[in-house]
């Protein structure tokens, strides 16, 4: 892998490889762009097949965070940490304390929080080594569970998609295929069922499947979720689920969910247009968690009311993006990128004024 070339292509400023032998820590910390402000992005722990997969994930996720902050109007840049390891077997106190020491050494250039494979207990430990962590449990002085904010934003984003596609944002009687029943996917499923949706759901983790079934979700095998005839397909697990193997299997009108980097490449945005499937750009619809942490880090006093109003505004941001997409004849992800890149250009111009 030509890492410097890849960094240049994707616009990255910095990539760090973190290792500590006794704790088993092997991590990649990628800082994409800090024009809008210091890097902000969660810490993912995953058992990648090979080193290159972990690097690519860190690069893609950190770039996504730049765009997520940009489109949300937050004054943060994009960054991400990826810990290479099995979250069910390889965690220990020392690992997160060492990671906290590394992050603290950046002196505020990067702040983090939970992501796939990590939880709040991990970051209570990490917080002992660095203040640069957000969305800690409320009993530890943080803003609490960020998956609530993320699921709220995704829910309102799905409503916006229905408004665009069907002329009404009602979710009653809509058939939804939910992929991933973790922290966000399960809360979203609860909201959808409460609103009268018929939900078909899947997850590779049995405990997640069991609890979703108890609240009324229809469970299907993981690979069958792509073949469900539905109104809405909602990806809420790992990325790149819209790819060469799945693009022709979708039988839906809308794709909208909390997963990051849903499109394997940007070209699949055009393929969705050709199939008349409305796509909610992932970093727009799933920005709730970032909005929560940004509020916690940006203001002297965190306001849950202020934060939730911002999450609800994802509805209107998506309608704006859909309008730009139609007016310019471009995909929805390109329309979202256009908004972010314009904001970054303006901030770069402001920085030059003395």
Give me the active site residues, please. Answer: 80
Q: How far apart are CA 270 and CA 282, in angstroms?
A: 15
CA dist., res. 58 & res. 132, Å (int): 19
Tokens of residue 204, six digits:
């590779």
For residues 112, 54, 341 and 353, what is the CA-based torsion angle, rounded to 10 degrees? 60
Coil, helix or strand for 40? strand
Contacts of residue 36, Cβ cutoff 8 Å, sequence gap at least 6: 66, 69, 70, 74, 75, 76, 77, 343, 344, 347
3-class DSSP state of 112: strand
Going by C-alpha positions, the residue among 273, 220, 221 that lies closest to residue 247 is: 273
Alpha helices in the chain (DSSP H): 3-10, 51-72, 93-104, 120-126, 146-166, 183-194, 206-214, 267-274, 282-285, 288-298, 304-312, 314-328, 332-352
Residue with tokens 């108890």: 214
């Amino acid at each position: 892998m030509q890492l410097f070339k890849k960094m240049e292509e994707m616009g990255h400023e910095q990539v760090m490889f973190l290792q500590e032998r006794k704790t088993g820590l092997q991590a990649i910390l990628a800082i994409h762009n800090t024009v809008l402000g210091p890097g902000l992005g969660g810490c993912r722990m995953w058992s990648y097949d090979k080193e290159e997969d972990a690097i690519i994930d860190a690069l893609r996720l950190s770039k996504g965070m730049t765009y997520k902050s940009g489109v949300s109007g937050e004054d943060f840049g994009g960054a991400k940490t990826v810990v290479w390891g099995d979250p069910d077997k390889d965690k220990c106190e020392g690992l997160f304390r060492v990671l906290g020491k590394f992050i603290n050494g950046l002196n505020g250039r990067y702040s983090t929080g939970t992501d796939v494979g990590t939880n709040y207990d991990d970051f209570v430990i990490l917080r002992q080594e660095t203040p640069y962590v957000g969305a800690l449990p409320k009993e530890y002085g943080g803003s609490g569970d960020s998956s609530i904010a993320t699921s709220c934003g995704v829910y309102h984003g799905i409503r916006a998609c229905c408004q665009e596609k069907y002329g009404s944002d009602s979710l009653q009687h809509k058939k939804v295929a939910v992929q991933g029943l973790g922290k966000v996917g399960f809360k979203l499923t609860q909201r959808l069922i409460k609103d009268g949706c018929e939900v078909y759901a899947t997850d590779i983790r049995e405990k997640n499947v069991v609890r979703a079934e108890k609240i009324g979700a229809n469970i299907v095998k993981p690979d069958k979720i792509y073949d469900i005839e539905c109104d809405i397909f909602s990806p809420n697990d790992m990325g790149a689920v819209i790819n060469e193997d799945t693009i022709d299997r979708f039988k839906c009108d809308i794709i909208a969910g909390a997963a990051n980097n849903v499109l394997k490449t940007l070209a699949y945005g055009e393929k969705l247009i050709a199939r008349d499937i409305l796509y909610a750009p992932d970093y727009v619809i799933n920005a709730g968690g970032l909005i929560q942490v940004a509020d916690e880090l940006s203001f002297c006093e965190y306001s849950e009311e202020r934060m939730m109003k911002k999450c609800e505004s994802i509805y209107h941001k998506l309608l704006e993006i859909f309008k730009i997409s139609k007016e310019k004849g471009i995909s929805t992800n390109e329309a979202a990128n256009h908004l972010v890149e314009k904001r970054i250009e303006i901030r770069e111009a402001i920085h030059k004024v003395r």
